[in-house]
């Protein structure tokens, strides 16, 4: 076999130089006819002009072998599945023969692959920090702008170090991310990205530039019944969606967690204390708005959220929650022991609906999940067109408060106490290219792992170690379209 392939291509080419005619017009590729050969092995032999040379090279039938090739430039996208259609065009197929269906599909496939290659994984460096929107024991909420699209977001960030000290912080962050990833409702804040770097984890949320409902409540002291019933109705829609469609007990309903978007619709935020469960017995929430069964440490279900709705509605109509005090213990004692006092200026309809919500016995408390038709027909909601409210048809039922927004980047509907705070610069001093290479190996990087000791839920005295952040990142597909 070795003798077959040991030949001098230049001498072989010169042997046929007088017998063939080369088309001088095609510099890249020429196919030429061969004279009749006595040896059958020569049938079908094709000769091609050697690149940048006058010599002719046979790629034909040595052992009836036919070689086909074509030139691919360095910057050209090569797709082996599409080679046949390219080869056909090089051989001079007519315009009717060239565009076959397989070729078209492969071209679309190639384009899709190229677009996918250009799409980069989102990272925190893609966002420019503008202002502080809020601050608490959990961390900060910042107003950020995407550098490429210019879209504004609210960036909620948490230090990983704080999760080492207190595992509850991690559990709450992961719970919020998990819930918001599932939820799709106009009255619940939208999660676009979940990101992380070496020091922090980030939730990139919908920017609600109308500010907190508490901001307007503080300015007005109390809201009219017509305004209050509108936002109570939107809270009913949001809570029912959580209870029925997601299986979540919210547990932290208060005016500070009720935000307004630019159109004036109420949007529920902050799911750190929420629980994906049908019932639980842990005491979580804000003292002034906690249900009696939660305060007493009893087993409770989603009925606790309807008490909290009553407390928020009471706050909107009167200017204070139903029970107040100098400290949390005093407030919680009143919730359990004292009766709710209803001011004389409340209408009969408002008074009746509040009594149905603020019933200390959860079994006798109105259940807006199961009794939704009864709630919709209650006289307190006589101003509400529920179909228009669900569809957010502002022509039929406009929101009672339309925020004044001159420039969304100014965050003018947020407390100046926060917006005047200096922004802490990012703590990672490494360059962007290095950061990207490290992010590629994030799944095996030790920076994605924080050892937190937790008690084994099975009841043993063993201690479990966690927490992995390798699956924390998330991108909403709608932002990629």
333 catalytic, yes or no? Answer: no
Apex 184 CA angle, 183 and 188, nearest 5: 80
Cα gap 180→205, rounded to integer Å: 9
From first CA to last CA, the distance across the chain in angstroms is 57
Cα gap 239→467, rounded to integer Å: 30
Q: Indicate the DSSP class of residue 88.
A: H
Cα gap 188→270, rounded to integer Å: 10
Of 247, 350, 361, 233, nearest to 304 by C-alpha is 361
252, 270, 305, 315: which one is catalytic?
A: 252
Of 166, 186, 354, nearest to 264 by C-alpha is 186
- Number of CB atoms found within 10 A of residue 65's CB: 9
Cα gap 206→152, rounded to integer Å: 8
Helices 83-90 & 101-118 angle (0-180, nearest 10): 120
Contacts 24+ apart (CB under 8 A), 10-19: 10/55, 12/58, 13/47, 13/50, 13/55, 13/56, 13/57, 13/58, 14/55, 16/47, 16/56, 17/56
Cα gap 367→12, rounded to integer Å: 94
Of 185, 184, 158, nearest to 172 by C-alpha is 158
Cα gap 361→304, rounded to integer Å: 10
Residues 6+ apart with CB under 8 A from 117: none
Q: Would you name the residues annotated as active-site residues?
A: 252
């Amino acid at each position: 076999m070795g003798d077959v392939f040991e030949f001098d291509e230049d001498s072989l080419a010169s042997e046929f130089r007088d017998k063939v005619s080369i088309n001088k017009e095609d510099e890249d590729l020429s196919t030429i006819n061969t004279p009749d050969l006595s040896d059958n092995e020569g049938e079908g032999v094709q000769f091609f002009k050697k690149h940048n040379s006058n010599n002719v090279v046979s790629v034909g039938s040595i052992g009836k072998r036919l070689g086909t090739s074509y030139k691919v430039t360095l910057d050209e996208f090569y797709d082996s599945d599409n080679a046949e259609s390219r080869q056909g065009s090089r051989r001079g197929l007519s315009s009717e023969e060239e565009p076959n269906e397989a070729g078209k599909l492969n071209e679309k496939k190639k384009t899709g692959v190229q677009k996918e290659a250009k799409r980069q994984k989102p990272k925190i460096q893609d966002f420019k920090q503008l202002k502080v929107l809020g601050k608490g024991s959990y961390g900060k909420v910042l107003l950020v702008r995407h550098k490429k699209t210019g879209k504004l977001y609210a960036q909620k960030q948490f230090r990983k170090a704080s999760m080492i000290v207190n595992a509850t912080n991690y559990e709450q962050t992961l719970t919020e991310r998990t819930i918001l990833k599932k939820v799709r409702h106009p009255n619940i804040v939208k999660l676009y990205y979940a990101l992380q770097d070496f020091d922090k984890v980030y939730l990139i949320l919908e920017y609600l530039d109308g500010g907190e409902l508490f901001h307007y409540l503080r300015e007005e002291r109390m809201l009219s019944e017509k305004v209050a019933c509108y936002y109570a109705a939107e809270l009913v829609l949001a809570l029912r969606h959580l209870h029925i469609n997601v299986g979540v007990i919210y547990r932290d309903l208060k005016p500070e967690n009720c935000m307004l978007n630019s159109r004036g619709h109420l949007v529920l935020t902050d799911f750190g204390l929420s629980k994906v469960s049908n019932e639980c017995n842990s005491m979580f929430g804000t003292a002034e708005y906690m249900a009696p069964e939660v305060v007493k440490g009893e087993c409770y279900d989603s009925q606790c959220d309807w008490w909290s709705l009553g407390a928020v509605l009471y706050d909107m109509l009167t200017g204070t929650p139903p029970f107040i005090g100098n400290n949390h213990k005093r407030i919680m004692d009143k919730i359990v022991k004292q009766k709710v006092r209803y001011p004389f200026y409340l209408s009969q309809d408002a008074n009746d609906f509040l009594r149905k919500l603020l019933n200390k016995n959860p079994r006798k408390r109105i259940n807006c999940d199961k009794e939704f038709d009864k709630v919709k027909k209650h006289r307190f909601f006589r101003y509400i067109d529920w179909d228009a409210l669900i569809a957010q048809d502002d022509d039929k039922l406009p929101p009672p408060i339309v925020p004044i927004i001159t420039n969304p980047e100014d965050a003018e509907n947020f407390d100046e106490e926060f917006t005047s705070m200096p922004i802490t610069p990012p703590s990672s001093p490494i360059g962007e290219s290095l950061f990207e290479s490290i992010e590629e190996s994030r799944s095996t990087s030790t920076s994605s792992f924080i050892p937190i000791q937790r008690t084994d839920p099975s009841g043993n005295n063993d201690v479990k170690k966690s927490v992995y952040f390798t699956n924390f990142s998330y991108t909403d597909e709608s932002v990629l379209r």
